Amino acid sequence: MGTHRRPKPPSRTRIATLGIAAGAVSLLPTQSQAAPKPTMDEVRKQVEKLYEEAEAPTEEYNAIREEQKKLQREADRGQDRIARKQEEVNELRAKIGPLATAQYRSGGIDPSVQLFLSGDPDDYLDKAQMMGRTSDRQADALRAMQSKQRELTQDRAAVTKRLKSLEETRAKAAETKDEVQGKLAEARKLLNSLTVQQRAKMEADQERDDAATGASDTAASYNGPASGRAKAALDFAYAQLGKPYEWGSTGPNSFDCSGLTGASWRAAGVSLPRTVQQQYDAGRKVAKSDLQPGDIIYWYNSTQHNGMYVGNGKAIHAPRTGKNVEIVPLDSMPFFAASRP
């Protein structure tokens, strides 16, 4: 997915405290170092920048986690196939009779079976039957066992490859998770550098900005013109108003942006892929002039942030760390595209 940086957001965006402890922890230089103390506005801008920088790796993490789940499912299915085929091989060995007995007695494979497995099975069996060294029943069993052994070898190689890829994705997910958490931890430290009074003023500024732009995370119910699945998706989304944004989350107590859109449409019986980019690729594109409630809105670009159109020039979305699911004017962020599930 892309790593585009989005433009500076409008001033309405508020900064939340992320559950900061009541006591302020000073991270600023001591007076003896004579370093300038950042102003509250500077802290606000730095924190906002860190939150923005966390968005791209958040979506990357979501994509990696989806790949990880897919690889795990494939590996599990492969191991189930191996177990079933091993049972079939064991049953075939029992049918071979004396050859199988010799194998278990000697602790190795009977020379004739070894020749069969390592050479041309058809050629071996033809000659063995001509010489009376094996019965038709044994020949059929040997052919079947050779085929299953080959399948076992292929399946084991495939599972080994899947497991290696799975470990690589796990490592990549851990790195991306560390990147996101590092940025969020830095933002928390910056906010902790403010006094209690400064943080209170910042909260007041947030509320003022939201009131000025029409943003609201107050509980409400959808009562617009949508019907059918679109209405079901919006009913679900409205029920999440006020719940916190949390990176990598798909609910039920918190959401990231694509987690909210996916969960909302899933409540309507429509399965969407996990990330912003995947949802953009999967949906049927609609023009801004043709927007209908329930359509998915993409702001900035195709990879970074999305929400759902609710009608009357407004959208619902999970904004970013420190904020709650809210309704905002559609044009409070640069409109990029829209799609209809």
In three-state form (DSSP H/G/I as H, E/B as E, the rest C), the secondary structure along 265-283 is: HHHCCCCCCCCHHHHHHHC
Active site residue 317: yes
For the purposes of burial, counting CB atoms within 10 Å of the CB of 317, is it exposed (0-12), middle (13-18) or buried (19 or more)?
A: buried
Taking the model in full, what pTM does it have? Answer: 0.68
Torsion, Cα 138 141 142 144, to 10 degrees, reads 160
Cα separation, 115 vs 98, whole angstroms: 16
The confidence score (pLDDT) of residue 105 equals: 54
The confidence score (pLDDT) of residue 300 equals: 94
Which entry of 44, 148, 305, 323 is annotated as an active-site residue? 305
**Tokens 């897919």 sit on residue:** 70
Amino acid, res. 63: A
Phi, psi dihedrals of residue 326, rounded to the nearest 5°: -145, 165
Give the tens place of pLDDT for each residue, 264-307. Answer: 999 999 999 999 999 999 999 999 999 999 999 999 999 999 99
Cα separation, 341 vs 286, whole angstroms: 10
Active site residue 4: no
- Average pLDDT, whole number, for the chain? 81
Nearest one of 246, 250, 327 to 293, comparing CA atoms? 327
The confidence score (pLDDT) of residue 15 equals: 40
Domain ranges of the chain: 25-193, 215-341
Which entry of 113, 139, 257, 260 is annotated as an active-site residue? 257
Pick the CATH number of 215-341 from 3.10.580.10, 3.90.1720.10, 3.40.309.10, 2.40.30.10: 3.90.1720.10
Which entry of 317, 321, 332, 336 is annotated as an active-site residue? 317
Active site residue 257: yes
Cα separation, 143 vs 328, whole angstroms: 69
Nearest one of 219, 307, 231, 295 to 267, comparing CA atoms? 231
The confidence score (pLDDT) of residue 28 equals: 46
Which parts of the chain sit beneath pLDDT 50?
1-5, 7-32, 34, 103-104, 118, 130-131
